Amino acid sequence: MNNFTYSIPTVIHFGKGQISHLSELKESGSRVLMVYGGGSIKRNGVYNAAVKYMTEVGLTVFELPGVTPNPRIQLVRQGIDICRREDIDMVLAVGGGSSIDCAKLIAAGTLYDGDPWELMKDSSLIKAALPIYCVLTLAATGSEMDNSTVISDPTLNAKLDICSDYLKPKTAILDPEYTFTVPKNQTAAGAVDIMSHIFESYFTNVKGCAVQKHIAEALLKTVIENAPKALADPESYEARSNLMWCSSLALNGILSYGAEVAWCVHPIEHELSAFYDITHGMGLAILTPVWMRYVLNEGTSHDFAEYGRNVWNIGETDDMKAAEAAIDKTAEFFASLGMPKTLTEIGIDDRHFEEMAKKCVSFCEGCYVPLTEKDIISIYKKAL
């Protein structure tokens, strides 16, 4: 296990009715920018509840609606303008990962003397941020409790991911009931995203991380148990609450501290959503089994076999056979959630593969099995 410094400062208020804790925002000032997406929070009542609890304690609420999936730098710039013009004290995201990510860069960009895209290219330029709060409505990205933001610039076909401790939310409100209205495809994509975050830490070259490994396996089993339940019964509190807590635990550092390894499936997927604006979890569902098969060899088979034995209860004693069975199970599970299996199914062909591989290859150095541009192109091709 590597050395690490544990720092998970986000306060979590988990459960029914916890939105009343929005009254605590007054600790950070009186003027809030509320950032949200395309209207789901107005349809399911979360918007009204949020505004009620903030105005009751005298907070002045400004709004930035219209965050799209794969949030855009252009909207971040608008948010920063509002924060400066209205002397905003804090930013509140109400929504999924896209709203939270947009709010995070607004919070950092407001206190940065330059264009926020510069921060996406060099996160060390972030030296401060307005306090960040969020009300999560979709179990998926882990942005509610992590130090990352992912922002796109469609004019450049670019989607960048940065980390900075200034981006960790101060408080996150996690009410599983707010996810009852998440549509099936987003519920499924969210489950795949959570599993992918777990895989990105689980498949590591750092030895001796039994704690991280076994927590990861428990989280994977929890998603595998509960995602089908949430699809069958969208208002199952049990299923939604377990998925929601998995979303946060998958990416808050508990799995990666001490077991650090560069991520690889995520950068490869981010190029797909940068070029084609697809749902992130859907891209991961297609790429993950392909990546697993691509990196499976004599050296990695034991790790995949252990995954298969501990998560899928595969009894096979031969490592290579157990590993192959585990990868098959993973692919079958994603398909059972209704996720597409190939890029062709979602209308993606090979025309940008070389450019995409060139753009993401530097992130894949230092990953579990280091990948070259040629490897990444092969993975894209095998996913067709």
Instruction: Note the residues at the interface with Zn ion (CB under 5 A).
Output: 193
Binding residue (CB under 6 A) for ligand NZQ from 95, 258, 267, 308: 95
CB contact at 8 A, 131 and 28: yes
Nearer to Zn ion, 101 or 193 (CB): 193
3 state DSSP class of 215: helix
Among ligand NZQ, Zn ion, none, residue 289 binds (CB under 5-8 Å by kind): none
Q: Which stretch binds ligand NZQ (CB under 6 A): 36-44, 220-228, 335-343, 351-359?
A: 36-44
Name which of 41 and 296 has its Cβ closer to ligand NZQ. 41
Candidates 79, 109, 176, 190: give the one binding ligand NZQ (CB under 6 A). 190
Task: Map the footprint of ligand NZQ across residues 261-300, applying CB under 6 A.
Answer: 266, 280
310 binds ligand NZQ (CB under 6 A): no
Q: Which two tokens stand for residue 119?
A: 């921060």
101 binds, among Zn ion, ligand NZQ, none (CB under 5 to 8 A by kind): ligand NZQ
User: With contact defined as beta carbons under 8 Å apart, do 136 and 100 qualify?
Assistant: yes
Q: How far is the CB of 347 from ligand NZQ (least distance, A)?
A: 19
**CA 346, 242, 99, 67 torsion: positive or negative?**
positive
Residue 46 to residues 20, 220, 239, Cα–Cα distance (Å): 11, 29, 20
Chain centroid to CA 306: 25
Residue for token pair 């994603």: 334
Using the rule CB under 6 A, is 140 a contact of ligand NZQ?
yes
Tell me how far, at minimum, the Cβ of 198 lies from ligand NZQ, in Å: 11
The rounded distance, in Å, linking the Cα atoms of 203 and 199 is 6
The pattern of x and - marking residues 43 through 62 that bind ligand NZQ according to CB under 6 A reads: -x------------------
Nearer to Zn ion, 193 or 375 (CB): 193
How far apart (Å, rounded) are the C-alpha atoms in residues 325 and 293?
11
> Cβ 199 to Zn ion, closest distance in Å?
10
CB 326 within 8 A of CB 305: yes
Q: How far apart are CA 356 and CA 360, in angstroms?
A: 6
